[in-house]
Amino acid sequence: MSRPRQFEHFRYMGDKRTQVVHDLDNATDACAIDDIVAAETYLAFGPDDLVEARNRSYRPCRHCTTATAGEDAA
């Protein structure tokens, strides 16, 4: 799966409809990133980390296997 053009410099992409954050480095086909981009319901986080996504009440996608989830909190 290729990274969306709008997210070339971002790792995490949120879906406004479901309040789920996707790790684009570890996204799978089940994440349906193309559907999120087509619906234009995405957003990037600044700073680009999982902690900021959680601060905005987004929960991690269960399909993305984020190997560094524990490292972001440090």
Question: pLDDT, tens digit, for every residue of 12-62?
Answer: 999 999 999 999 999 999 999 999 999 999 999 999 999 999 999 999 999
Asked if residue 14 is part of any domain, the answer here is yes
The number of domains in the chain is 1
What's the pTM? 0.82
pLDDT at 73 (0 to 100): 46
Residue ranges in the chain assigned as alpha helix (H): 33-39, 50-55, 69-72
Enclosing domain of residue 36:
8-69
Q: Rounded to whole angstroms, how far apart are CA atoms 48 and 57?
A: 15
Asked if residue 48 is part of any domain, the answer here is yes
